[in-house]
Structure 1
Amino acid sequence: MPDSTTRRPRSARQPLERPVPLRQAVTDVISDMIINGELQPGEHLVEQELAAQLGVSRQPVREALQRLHAEGWVDLRPALGAFVHTPTPKEADELLGARSLLEAESARLAAVNATPETVEQLWKLQATGEQAVAKDDEAGMVAANAALHQHILTMSGNKIMAELIGMVDRRVRWYYRPIARARGKEAWDEHRELIETIASGNGRKAGDLMRKHTERTRKIYEQRAETTS
């Protein structure tokens, strides 16, 4: 009898194709519409209208809204339907506070691990952000800001921290969009100083600058919430 512990060689198989399920694609599109302001906080989400807009049936839209409700993007109200969630000041404070701690550490590590090539990419992203400010391009500011912070995170080399920040990144962009213009040039001046510090390899100072930078964003968001409440 053959030895049961002996494994026979197995022929190679083609990698399994895993297309994104339609409900996931619809979920991603609707959340993007919320982040970029196409769907406003408190707005009523009508399944039939969204289905027609996205060119799908109502079923994947219904499933997407259920998932977005579980993730905190959408509120489901009995007998009324689905509405875009309106962030509370407490939610924003908790999220932006957590982000401040994580990104300060990512900046510290980015400075420790900086190379001429990774710093050069930071300067390219900085130029993109400054161009968006000059054009008063809100969407461009939000995208460039997210890209620059993401690159600093990549430079940190900490995969666990990347996972944690990834959990809040999309919601941070949602909160940042309404204040992108208010932050404007000041935010990119802060980025410039931060990049110079990262390039110098001063991890402690880079962490301090990132903490101050994210705390300013948090403060401006709070001030805006107070004036609009």
Structure 2
Amino acid sequence: MDAREAIERPAPLRTAVYQRVVDLVTAGELKPGRAVTEARLSRSLGVSRTPVREALLRLEAEGVLDSTPARGFTVRPLSPEEAAELYPILAALERLAVSTSPARALDLTALRAIDGELLATGDPVQRWRLDTTFHDTIVSACPNASLRAMIQALRVRVARYELAFMRDGDREGHAAPLHEQILAAFDDADLAGAADLIGRNWEGSRTLVLNWLSTQ
């Protein structure tokens, strides 16, 4: 993601700026501990400082950024304590989303294609993107818009850990071993089983990430 690439005007500006900053954080271009300035971002994105500030304040509220009067905004450092807290919450929310979705609401052929691409790629960022698409597609079937929004906001925070681990940790150990079982449960319209497997999937990710963080 090139921070110098200007925002396209037809997109809702506030949303587009927020998403661009999220992309920069999750892609690792705005690394933990790095200062984030409104002026620099507004110049690089080709927008005024107002939507940039709104995006930064939103990310501060979501726990991605910190702010201090002297330094402005900085990307929060990664910490084992935060990771240990975030993963169980995300697991619980995604379990709830699955268990309250209509049975057979998903395109399983499309999900299997996404999972096949994930297993075939050796690029850690692409693997993360495909894993995100896999989970986002599942959650999109949930009719509860508020729950979907909560999951999306939490995934922004978790993505920082996922990507850092995928770049530096045991990438092969994070090859989504439960995805096929999750798809089989959906194929049987077993939402309770699929929800349980998704929870176990996130628990496995949490263990891998915490083990990696302990070596940093």
Q: Do the structures match in fold with TM over 0.5? A: yes
Per-residue deviation, 1:160: 4.8
- 1:190 aligns with 178
Q: Secondary structure at the match of 2:17?
A: helix
Deviation larger for 29-38 or 62-71: 62-71
Matched, 1:138 2:124: yes
Q: Partner amino acid for 2:163?
A: R
Q: Work out whether residues 34 and 174 of structure 1, in 8 Å CA contact, stay in contact via their aligned partners in 2.
A: yes
- 1:222 aligns with 210
Per-residue deviation, 1:161: 3.4
Q: Secondary structure at the match of 1:215?
A: helix
Identity %: 28
1:124 pairs with 113, 117, 122, which one?
113
The alignment's C-alpha RMSD in Å is 2.8
Q: Partner amino acid for 1:179?
A: F
Q: 1:8-23 maps to which residues of 2 (within 5 A)?
A: 20-21=12-13, 23=14
Per-residue deviation, 1:63: 4.6
Query: In the aligned structure 2, how far is the partner of 1:166 from the partner of 1:198?
Result: 22
Per-residue deviation, 1:140: 1.3
Q: Unmatched 5+ residue regions in structure 1?
A: 1-17
Q: Work out whether residues 128 and 166 of structure 2, in 8 Å CA contact, stay in contact via their aligned partners in 1.
A: yes
TM-score (norm 2): 0.78
Deviation larger for 36-45 or 180-189: 180-189
Q: Secondary structure at the match of 1:41?
A: coil
2:192 pairs with 204, 213, 220, which one?
204
Q: 1:61-140 maps to which residues of 2 (within 5 A)?
A: 61-108=52-99, 113-114=103-104, 118-132=107-121, 136-140=122-126
Query: In the aligned structure 2, how far is the partner of 1:177 from the partner of 1:148?
Result: 16
Question: Structure 1 residues 203, 58: closer, same or farther in 2, change over 3 A?
Answer: closer
Query: In the aligned structure 1, how far is the partner of 2:147 from the partner of 2:180?
Result: 23
Q: Work out whether residues 113 and 155 of structure 1, in 8 Å CA contact, stay in contact via their aligned partners in 2.
A: no
Q: Partner amino acid for 1:98?
A: I
Q: Secondary structure at the match of 1:82?
A: strand
- 1:3 aligns with none
Partner deviation per Cα, 1:128-160 (whole Å, 9 max, x = no partner): 21232xxx2122111111111122223454545
Query: In the aligned structure 1, how far is the partner of 2:39 from the partner of 2:71?
Result: 14
Q: Partner amino acid for 1:50?
A: L
Structure of greater Rg:
1
Bigger fraction of residues in helix: 1
Per-residue deviation, 1:201: 2.6
Q: Partner amino acid for 2:128?
A: V
Query: In the aligned structure 2, how far is the partner of 1:179 from the partner of 1:29?
Result: 22
Q: Work out whether residues 43 and 84 of structure 1, in 8 Å CA contact, stay in contact via their aligned partners in 2.
A: yes
Aligned length: 205
- 2:32 aligns with 41
